[in-house]
Amino acid sequence: MLVELTVENFRSIGASQTFSMVAANRKELEENVFEAPNSEKFSLLKSALIYGANASGKTNLLLSLRALCHLIIESRKYDADQLFACYEPCRVDEDLVNKNISLEIEFYSSDIFDEVRLRRYNFQVEFNSSQIIKEKLSAFKTARPTNVFSRELGKDVSWGNIFTKSDKEFATNKNQLFLSVAGNLKTHFLNKIMYFFTDTLILPPQTHIIGSTSASTYTTLIKNLEKKSEKNSYSSLMKVADIGISNIHVKKRDLDKLNLPEDTPEAIKEALKYELLLTHPLFKKLEQVGHIDFGIEEESDGTKRLLTLANKIFKVLSTGGVFVVDEIETSLHPEISRVILELFSEKSTNPNNAQLIATTHDVTLLNSKRLRRDQVWFAEKNKQAQTNLYSLVEFKNSDLRRETAYGTWYLNGRFGAIPTIGPLTHLTKCDECKG
């Protein structure tokens, strides 16, 4: 479960910005929230949508999560002099371009003290292009955080009481997180926290190609469809989406007949072992006479996109994970985007309180009957070309009511975060367009 994310000096984000999944104290759409574990006195949102103009910084917020995960999971493998690939400071401000990046996340993961099932943690890291400046992990045993460990460049490490001598004995280079080095060992108690970043948090791919399905995603999809319960879930979603597919099944291929090049990567061979088939109705003279199968490569971009999303959605719904997706509406009809949103809102389909965080331009979802004000976030560039994040709940306009047409207000510019479109005559007057 994600509680909050704070980002400073990363890509278009200059000044510190905080994105929160903590529910405001409001009596509206209470089915869209759930109580935080351990009887903590706050609730969390099941979903949140982030709106904003193109290039406003929505995606950069998600990329900051990827950068944090990269540091936590991968920095243990770094050579001593290796530079951080995820060091991308705000380049539109000369005062920030060589400054440290700060990332902070609050989340729930398995309890390192073995007292409860889940424990709330706060993790902070500050880094430049070549070294970790600060790293701090805290745990909430009460309302106030308890230090687990804290390290700062040039200073002694501050160890919490949970550490024994052997727990501390790990060589850590200047460009490695202690959490990454120790947490990747299954025998170390910090491994319980690593699970959030390796399994609970499902991030979007590094590059988005409409309709594409990577070999690893395809292989995972095939494995899921081999399970009867999973297969039924995928088939049911296809029927609900009304895209003319009644069934999904897998057929084994004879790789020898494909005449693959000798240097074909093993991941590709593994993906090609099975053919994914989708069943459509077959008609003759306006009457259905049977069914016909189509390969996944013959399907529309929308169908491929829905299957790719479903692959991750069903995982987080079953485990109580966090699904982060960029432009959720890509290649999908608005009604299908609505169904995805409702999968997370409904207790029957989301019994484990999974969370959905998505950027979107789909204004049809911006509806007071579907979303609470605290579920709606906006990203907007300020006059210095830096991203500001803010929530709809921050607006105190007395005319803003539960029945307010949020989408209409947004398109009319009353919430900001929309593009300012210049006159089209600029296109015909520019020198490049003449002649």
Q: Lowest mean pLDDT of 34-43, 58-67, 265-274, name the range.
A: 265-274
Task: Find, among 282, 273, 275, 314, the residue nearest to 298 by Cα.
Answer: 275
Q: Is the pLDDT of residue 6 over 50?
A: yes
The pLDDT of residue 208 is 40
Q: What is the pTM of this model?
A: 0.90
Given a contact cutoff of 8 angstroms between Cβ atoms, the answer to whether 235 and 276 are in contact is no
Which tens digits make up the pLDDT trace of 186-206?
878 999 999 999 999 998 765
The pLDDT of residue 227 is 79
pLDDT band at residue 435 using 50, 70 and 90 as cut-offs: low
DSSP H helices, 138-252, are: 165-168, 178-183, 191-195, 215-225, 228-240
The pLDDT of residue 216 is 66
Q: How far apart are the first and last CA of the chain?
A: 58
Type of residue numbered 106: E
Q: Please name each of the domains of the chain with its CATH number.
A: 1-204+326-420 (3.40.50), 215-319 (no CATH)
Which tens digits make up the pLDDT trace of 314-354?
999 999 999 999 999 999 999 999 999 999 999 999 999 99
Task: State the average pLDDT over residues 12-38.
Answer: 95
Which tens digits make up the pLDDT trace of 155-180?
988 999 888 887 877 778 999 999 99
Given a contact cutoff of 8 angstroms between Cβ atoms, the answer to whether 379 and 349 are in contact is no
Cα(401)–Cα(410) distance, rounded to whole angstroms? 14
The pLDDT of residue 211 is 42
Q: pLDDT > 90: what percent of the chain?
A: 62
DSSP H helices, 389-430, are: 406-411, 425-429
Task: State the average pLDDT over residues 390-399.
Answer: 86
Q: Is the pLDDT of residue 184 over 70?
A: yes
Cα(385)–Cα(237) distance, rounded to whole angstroms? 41
Task: State the average pLDDT over residues 34-44.
Answer: 94
Cα(93)–Cα(387) distance, rounded to whole angstroms? 12
pLDDT band at residue 269 using 50, 70 and 90 as cut-offs: confident
The pLDDT of residue 207 is 45
| Residue that wins the pLDDT comparison between 312 and 127 | 127
Given a contact cutoff of 8 angstroms between Cβ atoms, the answer to whether 216 and 115 are in contact is no
Q: Is the pLDDT of residue 4 over 60?
A: yes
Which tens digits make up the pLDDT trace of 273-325?
888 889 999 999 999 999 999 988 898 888 888 888 888 899 999 999 999 99
Task: Find, among 196, 202, 192, 152, the residue nearest to 172 by Cα.
Answer: 152
